[in-house]
Amino acid sequence: MESVDLQVLEAARRWAAEGRRFALITVAHTWGSAPRPAGSWLVIRDDGMAVGSVSGGCVEDDIMARMREGRLGDRLPFSLDYGVTQDEAARFGLPCGGALQLVVEPQPDAAQLDQLARRLEHGELVLREVDLTRGSTSLGLAERADALSWNGERLRTVHGPQWRLFIVGAGQISYYLAQMAQALDYDITICEPRGEYGAEWRVPGTKLVSSMPDDAFLSMQADSRCAVVALTHDPKLDDMLLLEALRSPAFYVGAVGSRLNDSKRRERLSRHFDFSSDELARLHGPIGLPIGSHTPPEIAVAIVAEMTAVRHGAPIALRNVLL
């Protein structure tokens, strides 16, 4: 669940407590170059005030007008299409013939939204279902393999920490990386067996563990929505993690170090631990995109950028040199 959607949820709960009428709109499906992905939220109040986005601003103006004029329905959820034709796409400013299919809840269940917020605060992964045929919504426990689905009648969305980041080392780079990754909705675990480093870790909302990196990583049961980053500069600790991470389903595995250190690391893994060339090719090192980074926050930006590129399947042609 994106951070902006948590802001939407908070606005909806606040307006409900104030006794205001509001509608909740979800992007159910997109075609072409739609500005916002499926699952994005918008909440709009009876006076037209809105939080969130479903199109980057073009469609929102029409939705606001519908809300102010009482044309967003009375109670039951329904679907609403934009940009189905080229003329309509041009009218609403949707790029490249893009189109959106939205699910509108004119009167969402405020108590259920409170329950969703409480469950998210406890770190739960929640499955929310909107059934247009029955006019109902429900909450359930989601699995990490669950994803958004829409069949024209039933919308299922997943809310909570779907993506995870495992970091070894509680140094300065990790401090900035953890905060940036939180903004991208990662659930973050910091592994720091060195007591002198772990004692000073101060990033709220992250989990700090002091066990050895391989044991801590195996205990989290990594899947394809996990990113793994080794940032200690200590081969004994970083390699311990890589031995497990490179053979896991994690979508991203990276380790800090210069080109020389990265070359030595790959040689160690190949010679002493029998890693194949395909397995070593999964290692991102030197870590981060080549943006000329030198300071800890700049290096963290480079790492987050590379993680994001890999997550979205964007091509990465060059490597940065991080000392």
pLDDT tens digits for range 142-199: 987 788 999 999 999 999 867 899 999 999 999 999 999 998 889 899 999 998 888 8
The answer to whether the CB of 208 falls within 8 A of the CB of 195 is no
Please give the pLDDT value at position 137. Answer: 97
pLDDT computed for residue 98 by the predictor: 66
What per-residue confidence (pLDDT) applies to 95? 52
* The pLDDT of residue 229 is above 70: yes
pLDDT tens-digit map of 14-55: 999 999 999 999 999 987 666 678 999 999 999 989 999 888
- What's residue 5's pLDDT? 79
Q: Could you read off the pLDDT of 44-100 as tens digits, one per residue?
A: 999 989 999 888 667 888 899 899 888 887 889 999 998 755 565 555 555 555 688
Mean pLDDT across 214-243: 93
Beta partners for residue 81, in sequence order: 101
Q: What is the mean pLDDT of residues 99-108?
A: 93
Residue range 251-306, pLDDT digits in tens: 999 999 999 999 999 999 998 888 989 999 999 999 999 999 999 999 999 999 99
pLDDT reading at 104 higher than 90: yes
Give the pLDDT score at 322.
Answer: 41
pLDDT at position 312 is: 87
pLDDT at 52: 92
| Domains assigned to the chain | 3-159 (no CATH), 163-311 (3.40.50.720)
pLDDT confidence of residue 2: 57
Give pLDDT, residue 285: 93
What predicted TM-score, i.e. pTM, was given to this entire model? Answer: 0.68
